[in-house]
Amino acid sequence: AQSVAQPEDQVNVAEGNPLTVKCTYSVSGNPYLFWYVQYPNRGLQFLLKYITGDNLVKGSYGFEAEFNKSQTSFHLKKPSALVSDSALYFCAVRDIGDDKIIFGKGTRLHILP
Amino acid sequence: EAQVTQNPRYLITVTGKKLTVTCSQNMNHEYMSWYRQDPGLGLRQIYYSMNVEVTDKGDVPEGYKVSRKEKRNFPLILESPSPNQTSLYFCASSLSDPPGDEQFFGPGTRLTVL
């Protein structure tokens, strides 16, 4: 069965510093991987995805993520954090050949001014 | 404007009183899904639908029903709500082909069952 783990409930980063939000996954086949962001009192918004090809994926708002097959990870990164990046971030996985989508429990990102 | 709409946005009800949360999308998406969001548990998939008249259980389907009679609509039905169904519910849609497409989420429905 497929699963997703976000090992950190909360990440604090000073504004201007690089940020990383971690995600590891487990699937039986090849994965489709996604990152979503949720701002307060809003639905989730798509940030980026990995389907195939280049392991470094670039997305919205300056975010990027690196697919690492050997470590089964898909960490979200940004070179320089903004206070407006403060939100709840979800990693999600879908196994090729399976219609279910599994979300992680979410990581709350606090960017400190 | 491309969007997923849900109604109602807020609902307080009592145990056992049947309710329906509507979901509609205007993007001609084939895949639609319902999730519940609970603190510490993240998003959990309740039901999903690959197309009209095709629905499947997600991870937490107990106590819920869905139907997909039209492509644009995917209502969530709680026939006998219980307090443990108090949660924040999201509807989402995406193109199913290719299956790696991202989902578009509705604004959420906050349900309280007393």
d(CA A92, CA A35): 6
Task: Please give the biggest Cα pair distance in chain A.
Answer: 44
In DSSP terms, A49 is beta-bridged to A34
- The residue type of B25 is Q
d(CA B23, CA B33): 10
Model pLDDT, residue A95 = 81
Angle ∠(B39,B112,B31) on CA atoms, nearest 5: 70
Query: pLDDT confidence of B33, banded at 50, 70, 90?
Result: very high
Residue in A67, A91, A99, A100 to test binding to B, most B beta-carbons within 10 Å: A99
DSSP state of A51: -
Q: How far is A85 from chain B (nearest CA, A)?
A: 19
| A102, A23 contact by CB (below 8 A) | no
SS (H, E, C) chain B: CCCEEEECCEEEECCCCCEEEEEEECCCCCEEEEEEEECCCEEEEEEEEEECCEEEECCCCCCCEECCCCCCECCEEECCCCHHHCEEEEEEEECCCCCCCCCEECCCEEEEEC
Is B59 an interface residue toward A (CB < 8 Å)? yes
Inspect the interface and report whether the beta carbons of A43 and B90 lie closer than 8 Å.
Answer: yes
Model pLDDT, residue A42 = 85
Average pLDDT for A33-49: 92
Interface of A with B (CB under 8 A): 6, 32, 34, 36, 42-46, 49, 51, 90, 92, 94, 96, 99-106
Average pLDDT for A62-69: 96
Per the listing, tokens 């997923």 go with B4
Residue B40 corresponds to which tokens in the numbers above? 């510490």
User: Searching chain A, which residue's CA lies closest to the CA of residue B41?
Assistant: A105
Inspect the interface and report whether the beta carbons of A32 and B33 lie closer than 8 Å.
Answer: no
Model pLDDT, residue B2 = 84
Does residue A43 have a pLDDT over 90?
Answer: no
- Which has more pLDDT, B83 or B96? B83
B9: closest CA among A43, A38, A89, A44?
Answer: A43
Is B89 an interface residue toward A (CB < 8 Å)? no
Does residue A82 have a pLDDT over 80?
Answer: yes
Model pLDDT, residue B99 = 61
Strands in B4-7's sheet, in edge-to-edge order, are B4-7, B19-25, B76-78, B65-66
Q: How far is B40 from chain A (nearest CA, A)?
A: 6
